[in-house]
Amino acid sequence: MNSQPTPVERRIRIAGILLIVGLLVELLTLRWSHPTAFLFFLLMGGALMALGIVIYLLSLLTAGNKPSTE
């Protein structure tokens, strides 16, 4: 049994971790009524989530480009 993750799986893991951290930041800032909360939400949560989504989308693209074995 091969336990080594493929590059696509690795990217999905990285994207997932970034998304989870971004979502946690959003969750924490939701109940905090202060301008700093909005900045955290936008600059930290938003950036992490955007990066996670981009990495996930890239993993979809690379998954479709399987290298030729010939």
Partner 1 sequence: MAGMTTIITALILISIALIGWLVLRPSITTTRGGKMLAFVAMLIFPVMAGGMGASKHLENSKSTRFCLSCHVMDDYGKSLHVDDRSLVPAIHYQNHLVPQEQACFTCHTDYTMYGDINAKLRGLKHVYAYYIGTPSQPIKLYQAYNNRECLHCHLGARSFEESEAHTKDPQTMPRIKANQLGCTSSGCHNNVHNIQLLKEATLWKEQAK
Binding site for partner 1 (CB under 8 A): 5, 8-10, 12-13, 15-17, 19-20, 22-24, 26-27, 29-31, 33-39, 41-42, 45-46, 49, 52-53, 56-57
Q: How far is the CB of 65 from partner 1 (least distance, A)?
A: 16
Residue type, 12: I
Cβ 41 to partner 1, closest distance in Å?
6
Is the CB of residue 62 less than 8 Å from the CB of residue 8?
A: yes
Question: Which residue lies nearer to partner 1 by CB, 53 or 65?
Answer: 53
> Which sign does the torsion angle of CA 46, 52, 56, 57 carry?
positive
> Residue 33 is encoded by which pair of tokens?
């009524």
